[in-house]
C-alpha cells in the first residue's frame, strides 16, 4: 500500500530520509510547455538543503545539452551533468557495455539529440537525420548496398521515420551477423504540448514485429539508465528517491534500482489506477498530488 | 503427419478429390518477378479438367485489377473475378460486416490498391496517397483538426508510411469513440524481388503498440477473406484445397476454413520446419516440392 502524503510532517520526513532526488521531467516538472506550480520553489528547497538533484528522462529526441534548454526556457535551474536521457544511455551502453569497436558503426532511426550523444561517445553512425534516408521515395533492395560495418541499430523517437529507414535497419538486423538491436526507450506514447502522440516504442515496433525480436531498451524502467547515473555520481540507493508520473516506467525504474518511489498525479497516472478496484501491480512507496505539495515544509516552519 | 506427394497416383488422387483449387501467389506461382517452372502447365491441366481456380493473396498494395497485371506480365491466365486480395477483403468487411454508414469515412494507411478497392465498395476515405499526408514535415496537433466522421482506420502495406499518418490514425483511434481498427493483413515480412522487407504487419505495429490494441485482420489466416470468396463463388469446402508456401498464413487459412491444404517448398517454408526436430504445430495435409510437380499426371498418361 502506498503512503498518501498530506501533513507537513510527512514531507519533512521525506526530506530527512533521502539525500538524492531523481526526477522524471514531463508530467512531474512540467506538462508540455507549462511549468507545474511550485516546482521552482521545491527544487530551491532541495538545493538549499544540499540534496543531490538528478533529472532522468526517456526523451531521446534531445541531447542533454539541448534538453537543458527546456529547463532554461521554463526558468528551472538545472545543470547538464544533472541530466540523464535515454539517448545518452544508449550511447553509453554502446561504448561501455557492448564496447563497440572503433571500426564499427551504428544505424540510427532517431533525431539530432541521439546523434549528438553518439558523437560525444565517439560512435560512428549512418541514417538518422541524413537527408538520403529521410525520404518517402520507394525503397528497393536493388539500389541498396549492405554496409558490413554496421554492428548495431539504435531506435529512438523519430518523427522522420519512413519505409527506407525501417527497411535498411531490417537488412542490418537480419543480414549482419550479431547486429545489436537497441531502443532508447519503449514509451508507447509521447506527451506533446497538445496531447499524446505515438512514442519511441511505436517507432521500434515495426522492426520488433518484422523480426519477432525485442530490442535491448536503455531507457526507464531498464536499469541501464541507472548504471549511467552510477558511473558518474555517487549516491546511496537506500537514501535515494525517484519521483515520477508513470508507474510502468518511472516507478518501476526506481523499484528495479532499489530506490524509494514517489508518484505524482500531475501526469499520465490517475489516482484510481492505484486506489481503484483493479490497482496496478506496481505500487509506489509514496503518493502526492503534485511536486508543489512539498512547499508545505517551508510554510510550516 | 503430412502426406509427402511423390507418385503419379498421389497427384491424380488430388485431382480426383478436389474441385476447387485456391492458390497463394508469391512463393507458389512466382517468386518476386520469376515464374516458377511448370505453373502455367499445371493451371492449364486444372482448367482443362474444369476445376475452379481461385487466387488468394495478402498483397494489399494492388487492387485485384492491377494485381491481374502481374499474372499477365508473367503469362499466367487469370481473371479478375478469380482474384481475392486482402485490400478487397478489408473493403468488403467495411461495407458488408461493419456496414459503415454512407456519412462515415475511413482513414487509410496504405497505397493506391487499397484506395481502389474502397472506392469500388463506395467507401469514402482520407489519408492514403493524399500528398498532404505523404510528408516528413513535423506533425503537430496544434495544426490538426479531428474529423468526427472518421469511423475506421485501415492499415495495409504502405511504403509511404510516416509520423503524420501514424499520428493522425492514433488520434482517430483514441478520440473518435468506437473507431474501428482494421489491418489488411499481418504478414511480418514482404517478399520483394531482391529479398525480404518489412510487411503489412510492421506498418500497423506502431499503432498496435501505442494503443495496446490489436486490429481486426482481414487477410489470411483470418476467415474474413474466405467469407469474401464464399459471397461470390459457390464451392464445397470438403472438395477444396488451399495451396500455399506459408504455414501461419496460407495453411492456417485453409485449416480455419475446413479446406484441405497443400504446402509447397518454393517459398518461405523450409522442409525442416515440418519434418525437423521442432516441427511447426501447423501441419498441412499434403506437401510437395513445387506446384510444377503436378505436371506428372499428364506425363504419366
Domains along chain A with CATH numbers: 3-58+221-299 (3.40.50.1000), 88-217 (3.40.50.1000)
In whole angstroms, give the CA distance from residue B218 to residue B58: 9
Looking at residue B300, its pLDDT comes to: 55
B 165-194 residues with CB < 8 A to A: 166-167, 170-171, 174, 188-189, 192-194
Does the annotation list B227 as a binding residue?
no
- Note whether B170 contacts A207, CB cutoff 8 Å: no
Owner of C-alpha cell 538518422: A128
- Is A241:A235 a contact under the CB 8 Å cutoff? no
Owner of C-alpha cell 532526488: A21
Which helix (H) or strand (E) segment is B210 a member of?
A: helix B200-211
Give CA separation, B198 vs A151, A186, A187, B64, B263, in Å: 20, 20, 22, 22, 23
Pairs from B190-196 (Cβ < 8 Å, separation ≥ 24): B190/B157, B191/B26, B191/B27, B191/B31, B191/B32, B191/B267, B191/B268, B192/A140, B192/A141, B192/B32, B193/A141, B193/A142, B193/B32, B193/B33, B194/A140, B194/A141, B194/A142, B194/B32, B195/A141, B195/A171, B196/A170, B196/A174
Provide the number of CB pairs (under 8 Å) joining chain A to chain B: 119
In whole angstroms, give the CA distance from residue B220 to residue B57: 8
List pLDDT tens digits, range A9-27.
999 999 999 999 999 999 9
Question: What SS3 state is found at B244?
Answer: strand
| The dihedral sign for the CA sequence B207, B210, B216, B222 | positive
Q: How confident is the model at residue A192 (pLDDT cuts 50, 70, 90)?
A: confident
Give CA separation, B179 vs A4, B170, B176, B253, in Å: 38, 10, 6, 27
Q: How far is B17 from chain A (nearest CA, A)?
A: 37
- Note whether B141 contacts A195, CB cutoff 8 Å: yes
In whole angstroms, give the CA distance from residue A107 to residue A215: 14
| The dihedral sign for the CA sequence A180, A184, A185, A190 | negative
- Note whether B198 contacts A206, CB cutoff 8 Å: yes
Task: Please name the residue of chain A whose CA is at the shortest distance from the CA of residue B188.
Answer: A210
Nearest residue to A154 (alpha-carbon basis) of A188, A197, A189, A119 = A119
Looking at residue B119, its pLDDT comes to: 97
Instruction: Please list every residue in chain B whose beta carbon sits closer than 8 Å to the beta carbon of residue A198.
Output: 163, 166-167, 170, 206-207, 209-210
The rounded mean pLDDT for chain A is 94
A194 → closest Cβ in B140, B163, B208:
B140
B285 is an active site residue: no
pLDDT over 70 (residue A300)? no
The contacts of residue B294 (CB under 8 Å, 6+ apart) are B11, B14, B15, B38, B42, B45, B288
- Note whether A212 contacts B170, CB cutoff 8 Å: no
- Is A244:A261 a contact under the CB 8 Å cutoff? yes
Q: How far is A69 from chain B (nearest CA, A)?
A: 20
B206 → closest Cβ in A192, A195, A203:
A203
Does the annotation list A24 as a binding residue?
yes
Task: Please name the residue of chain A whose CA is at the shortest distance from the CA of residue B190.
Answer: A210
First to last CA, chain A: 29
Could you tell me where the beta strands, DSSP code E, fall in B88-220?
Answer: 105-109, 124-127, 150-155, 180-183, 189-192, 195-198, 216-217
pLDDT of chain B along its 301 residues, tens only? 899 999 999 999 999 999 999 999 999 999 888 999 999 999 999 999 999 999 999 988 889 999 999 999 999 999 999 999 999 999 999 998 899 999 999 999 999 999 999 999 999 999 999 999 999 999 999 999 999 999 999 999 999 999 999 999 999 999 999 999 999 999 999 888 789 999 999 999 999 999 999 999 999 999 889 988 888 889 999 999 999 999 999 999 999 999 999 999 999 899 999 988 889 999 999 999 999 999 999 875 4
Candidates B209, B248, B268, partner chain A, best to mutate (most A CBs within 10 A): B209
User: Active-site residue among B10, B24, B44, B227?
Assistant: B24
- Note whether A162 contacts B136, CB cutoff 8 Å: yes
Alpha carbons within 13 A on the beta-carbon side of A56: 33
What are A5's strand-pairing partners? Answer: none
Nearest 5°: the CA angle B295, B13, B51 is 70
The contacts of residue B221 (CB under 8 Å, 6+ apart) are B248, B249, B250, B252, B253, B256
Nearest residue to A159 (alpha-carbon basis) of A33, A62, A248 = A62
- Read off the pLDDT of each residue in A39-48 and give the average, rounded to a whole number: 97
Question: What SS3 state is found at B111?
Answer: coil
- Note whether B196 contacts A212, CB cutoff 8 Å: no
A 194-233 residues with CB < 8 A to B: 194-199, 201-203, 205-212
| % of chain A exceeding 70 in pLDDT | 99
Q: Is cis: bond before B108, omega within 30 of 0?
A: no
Could you tell me where the beta strands, DSSP code E, fall in B72-230?
Answer: 83-85, 105-109, 124-127, 150-155, 180-183, 189-192, 195-198, 216-217
User: Max Cα separation, chain A?
Assistant: 73
List pLDDT tens digits, range A252-296.
999 999 999 999 999 989 999 998 888 999 999 999 999 999 999
Question: What SS3 state is found at A57?
Answer: strand
Alpha carbons within 13 A on the beta-carbon side of B98: 26
Q: Is cis: bond before B221, omega within 30 of 0?
A: yes
Edge-first strand listing for the sheet containing B20-23? B3-4, B286-288, B260-264, B240-244, B20-23, B52-57, B83-85
Instruction: Please list every residue in chain A whose beta carbon sits closer than 8 Å to the beta carbon of residue B199.
Output: 210
List pLDDT tens digits, range A133-188.
999 999 999 999 999 999 999 999 999 999 999 999 999 999 999 999 999 999 99
Amino acid at each position: 500500500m502506498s503512503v498518501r502524503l498530506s501533513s507537513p510532517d510527512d514531507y519533512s520526513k521525506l526530506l530527512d530520509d533521502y539525500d538524492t532526488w531523481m526526477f522524471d521531467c514531463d508530467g512531474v516538472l512540467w506538462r508540455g510547455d507549462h511549468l507545474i506550480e511550485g516546482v521552482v520553489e521545491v527544487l530551491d528547497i532541495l538545493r538549499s538543503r544540499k540534496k543531490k538533484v538528478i533529472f532522468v528522462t526517456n526523451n531521446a529526441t534531445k541531447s542533454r545539452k539541448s534538453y537543458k534548454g527546456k529547463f532554461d526556457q521554463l526558468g528551472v535551474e538545472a545543470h547538464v551533468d544533472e541530466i540523464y536521457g535515454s539517448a545518452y544511455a544508449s550511447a553509453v551502453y554502446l561504448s561501455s557495455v557492448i564496447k563497440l569497436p572503433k571500426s564499427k558503426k551504428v544505424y540510427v532511426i532517431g533525431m539530432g539529440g541521439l546523434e549528438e550523444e553518439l558523437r560525444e561517445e565517439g560512435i560512428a553512425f549512418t541514417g538518422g537525420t541524413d537527408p538520403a534516408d529521410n525520404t518517402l521515395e520507394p525503397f528497393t533492395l536493388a539500389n541498396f548496398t549492405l554496409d558490413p560495418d554496421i554492428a548495431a541499430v539504435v531506435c529512438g523517437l523519430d518523427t522522420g521515420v519512413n519505409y527506407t529507414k525501417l527497411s535498411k535497419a531490417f537488412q542490418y538486423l537480419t543480414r549482419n551477423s550479431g547486429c545489436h538491436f537497441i531502443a532508447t526507450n519503449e514509451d508507447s506514447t509521447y506527451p506533446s504540448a497538445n496531447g499524446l502522440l505515438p512514442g519511441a516504442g511505436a517507432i521500434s515496433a515495426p522492426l520488433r514485429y518484422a523480426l519477432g525480436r525485442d530490442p535491448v531498451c536503455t531507457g526507464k524502467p531498464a536499469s541501464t539508465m541507472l548504471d549511467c547515473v552510477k558511473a558518474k555520481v555517487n549516491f546511496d540507493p537506500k537514501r535515494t528517491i525517484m519521483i515520477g508520473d508513470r508507474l510502468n516506467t518511472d516507478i518501476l525504474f526506481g523499484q528495479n534500482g532499489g530506490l524509494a518511489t514517489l508518484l505524482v498525479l500531475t501526469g499520465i497516472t490517475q489516482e484510481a489506477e492505484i486506489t481503484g478496484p483493479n490497482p496496478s501491480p506496481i505500487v509506489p512507496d509514496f503518493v502526492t498530488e503534485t511536486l508543489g505539495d512539498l512547499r508545505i515544509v517551508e510554510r510550516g516552519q
